[in-house]
Amino acid sequence: MPIDYTKDRRPKAAQGAGVSLSKVTLTKNSPTVSLSKQQGGSAGGELRVNLNWTSRPPSGGLFKRMASADIDLDLACLYELANGRKGVVQALGNSFTSRNDGSPIISLDGDDRTGQSTEGENLRIDLSRLREVRRILVFTFIYEGTPNWAGANAVVTLYPQGGAPIEIHLDEADPGARTCAIALLESTGTDLSVRREVQYIKGTQSALDAAYGWGMSWTKGRK
């Protein structure tokens, strides 16, 4: 199945010698990509997962004024390790790192409360530990503000080390949902596949867990 590519139009000198900066956009028709194929045969190094969004959509008119309240999106993930251990990485509850043997395999580098940070929010995944990973579900949820997904213009970009960026637009909307499953990453031990989800969930983490059969117990928490 073909993948949608957006070619980098900068001069070759600006692109860097020997590095392809073509961007892969996952869509409904082309939802999956293999990192090992993207990286020339093996998935390794660090995978950075970045979320950027617009905190306050443009106002104007009654509907737009109602929809223009600040939105606080949080980037997070559920993970399941090869040994069966499960958990969540998110700012809520100060769960900024995965709980695993040794150094964290997954970490969240901060919490952008405004949507105005040029760096957004970032999950970092150590692909040198890929054999310890079974699956990772990247998601975002609206911690504060009216569910206005269309106005948020959210985009998630995965940056593999040595591979082309992989982009997923949250280009659908469900005003009744506060959570969106963005991408499911599944490991074979040597490769990591990335599958676009963009599934809106009416509820919070426990509802997401139930939808994907993660099987964890949840309690309410605040930042």
Q: Which helix (H) or strand (E) holds 152?
A: helix 149-152
The 10 Å Cβ neighbour count of residue 130 is 22
Residue 21 — very low, low, confident or very high, per pLDDT cuts 50/70/90?
Answer: low
Instruction: Render pLDDT for 89-121 as a digit per residue (tens, 0 to 9).
Output: 999 888 999 999 999 999 999 655 444 555 789
Give the contacts of 21 (CB within 8 A, at least 6 positions apart). 8, 10, 15, 164, 165
Domains and CATH numbers, the chain: 19-212 (2.60.60.30)
pLDDT digits (tens, 9 = 90+) for 53-69: 876 555 544 444 444 45
**Between the CA of residue 39 and those of 13, 15, 80, 168, 182, what are the distances in Å?**
21, 17, 24, 19, 22
* 94 phi-psi bin (left φ>0, alpha ψ -120 to 50, beta other): left
